[in-house]
Structures are given as structure tokens and as C-alpha cells.
Amino acid sequence: MNTIQSVLRSRRSASKGRSLGVLVASLVLAVPTALLASAAPASAASVSSAARTPACGSGYVCIYKGDIFDGGSHHPMVYRFYRYGTYNVANLIGDYTVKNCQTGGAGVQGLTGYNGTGSVAWNLNVNNCSTGLWTSLTSTNSVRVYA
């Protein structure tokens, strides 16, 4: 006998207040089962599409976790900047790749302080989207995109 048949049978023989309690109790028990069924592991197709390093589009500066030229297939993009300016960054601990895909001679540099203060930790003034700077960004707290 399924849960709905059981609730309907209980409803016929019990008072209205009691049958409502049975109905609510059975729904509470049925909902977690439905949630567990929908929480199936990702299929191989969705895993393989998520395992690609996203491209850095023309006009952008992109920061990726790890060395994107190491032959590995998955390096998440953690920051992407398009406009000139100074941006605070956080939690850049370890090695990252910075790609400067801007046009017109724009550069990008990492600074040790927030809001563009402190000393220059690294500078990438080459606009070439096929190369990048692979370095530790642990001391980087802000990034400045400049003309």
C-alpha cells in the first residue's frame, strides 16, 4: 500500500483534525525521500563540460587558479576584469596564471596593498592572449588595469 492510499484510508476512519495530522506527517516523510532522489551525482557529460578551463575573451584580463599551460584541463577562472581601474582581490594564495587579453597596449599589475596601495608585486604589460604570467599571487591584494 503506498503512502497516499494509506492517508486516504486513515482519513475515512478518523476525524478531520486527526486526518490532517496524518496527511502532514506522511508529506513530511515523503519530501526528504524526493529530495534524496533528485540529489543524484552529476552525469559524466556535465562533469566533462565543467572540466574545461574557460577562455579569456578579447579585451579582458583573467586570473586562473594554477598554471593553465601545464596540460591540465581544469583551472577555474577566479577573476575577470574589463575596464581600467583598481580592484581589490581576496584569497589569492598560491600560484595563479594572469592573462592579459586587452587591446591597445593596456597593462595589468598586482599590488600588495588594498585599493591600489603598496608596492608592485607583478606587472604584465604584454597584450598577448596566447601567453600569460604564472606566479604566486599570495602577496596580491589589489589589481590595477591601466592604459
Write b or e for each residue in 122-147: b if 16 or more Cβ atoms lie within 10 A of its Cβ, otherwise e: bebeebebeebbbbebeebbbbbbee
Provide the mean pLDDT of the chain. 75
pLDDT of residue 131: 87
Q: Which amino acid is at 49?
A: S
Give yes or no for residue 26 having a pLDDT over 80.
no
pLDDT digits (tens, 9 = 90+) for 67-103: 998 888 889 999 999 999 999 999 999 999 999 999 8
Write b or e for each residue in 25-53: b if 16 or more Cβ atoms lie within 10 A of its Cβ, otherwise e: eeeeeeeeeeeeeeeeeeeeeeeeeeeeb
Provide the whole-model pTM: 0.65
